Amino acid sequence: MKKLAYITGSRAEYGIMKRLLKKIYNSNEIELTIVATGMQVDEKYGNTYKVIEEDGFKIDKLIDIKIDNSDNSKILNSMSICQSEFGKYFQEKKFDAVMILGDRYEIFSVAIAAAMHNIPLIHLHGGEKTLGNYDEFIRHAITKMSKLHLVSTEEYRKRVIQMGENPKDVFNVGALGAENSFEMVLPEKNELQNRFGTIKKDYFMVVFHPETVTGVSIENQIEELLNAIDNFKGNYDFIFIGSNSDTGSDTIFRMINNYTRKNNFKFLTSVKPEEYLALIKYSKGLIGNSSSGLIEVPSLKIATINIGDRQKGRVRGESVIDAQAKKHEIIEAIECSQSTSFKDMLKNTTNPYYQKEVMEEAYKIIKEFLNSDRLKEIKDFYDF
């Protein structure tokens, strides 16, 4: 039986992968080992590794990388801890492959450690562009270390091949997150009420992360966002979800925590994958700059107000309204999302990341790769 390790560093990435991990975990063909690190094992972010355990998975190891996002030097320190600890872990444990998703800094350190131990990497969501964040160059660097690529659109498949990856190792399967919106069993609205308290009005969800390479002021962006929300708080509630652990996210936490306390809005540090999708499903829209607004939310036929440049360059559907982090632009975007014409258009929108049977196709490709000679082939640079 082939041995596969999956490394998870955040609640969002685990939520995307959950159904595929279940499929692998319960199979008789692949032995899956899960290791949690990053935000998953940090008390400040809710020790969300416990959600993984509640879902029935056994976690082999918790690796704390001492996250401090006050500046980039502190982030680099966390990355060095991560790389060192996973270097030791992969020396002790032998795997046929390591599977990772995305572009976070802790996953970059995991990728380096695995590659240096000559363990083949299976990478999901390569080829994407997010020009407002250091995730952009991290993602492409991971691509060059990986042997198998499961990408989410044809445009991204072409980009990965353009980077010198062999077409026989690059598969456009669609996005698991886009399929999750259809396949996960989501809580009913009354269940959400019981878990999070009464929601008296129609509400918007708000998720905002830092832009880490644009040089913009996080404080100014949040001020513009909250000033725009002030324009609507007489008619709507707003439910805020905590930011990730990128550089400067403590500033976002502080400002939003103060704002929600003052206005009696809900601020949830973290929620389970099904809860997150359900909260969005029953909302008037998602406001912020989360990748979920482009990849997952469109499957629910809910509006996304995408703010700033964090997701600049990513493929998006018609349900996404782009706005700069300026009060008047955000107000206009929220108003547009609630117009009759936009709501009518939403009914007929499609999600560019959705394909049928994403999970089953991903599982089949991973299984075939693990049992093929390609696993041990020396990787070459593919030239056009």
- The span from the CA of 53 to the CA of 47, in Å, is 11
State whether 107 and 241 are in the same domain. Answer: no
State whether 168 and 242 are in the same domain. Answer: no
State whether 243 and 151 are in the same domain. Answer: no
pLDDT of residue 198: 77
User: Can you give the pTM of this predicted structure?
Assistant: 0.96
pLDDT of residue 205: 98
State whether 48 and 105 are in the same domain. Answer: yes
Helix (H) or strand (E) holding 229: helix 218-230
State whether 284 and 315 are in the same domain. Answer: yes
Q: 3-state secondary structure string, 172-214?
A: ECCCHHHHHHHHCCCCCHHHHHHHHCCCCCCEEEEECCCCCCC
Q: What is the pLDDT of residues 164-189, one digit of tens each?
A: 999 999 999 999 999 999 999 999 99
Q: What is the pLDDT of residues 192-245, one digit of tens each?
A: 999 998 787 999 999 999 999 999 999 999 999 999 999 999 999 999 999 999
The CATH number covering residue 259 comes to: 3.40.50.2000
CA distances from 6 to 17, 37, 117, 246, 328 (A): 10, 11, 16, 22, 43
How many domains is the chain built from?
2
pLDDT of residue 200: 79
State whether 26 and 101 are in the same domain. Answer: yes
State whether 36 and 70 are in the same domain. Answer: yes
- The span from the CA of 103 to the CA of 126, in Å, is 8
Residue 89 lies in a domain: yes
State whether 143 and 200 are in the same domain. Answer: no
State whether 122 and 233 are in the same domain. Answer: no
pLDDT of residue 242: 95
The arithmetic mean of pLDDT across residues 87-91, rounded, is: 98
pLDDT of residue 13: 97
CA distances from 110 to 50, 83, 229, 282, 321 (A): 21, 6, 39, 37, 35
State whether 287 and 331 are in the same domain. Answer: yes
pLDDT of residue 384: 86
pLDDT of residue 225: 98
pLDDT confidence band for 252 (50 / 70 / 90): very high
**By residue range, what is the domain housing residue 50?**
2-174+355-376
Residue 235 lies in a domain: yes
Residue 383 lies in a domain: no
What percent of the chain is modeled with pLDDT above 90? 97
State whether 11 and 152 are in the same domain. Answer: yes
State whether 367 and 287 are in the same domain. Answer: no
User: Who's near 341: CB < 8 A, 6+ residues apart?
Assistant: none
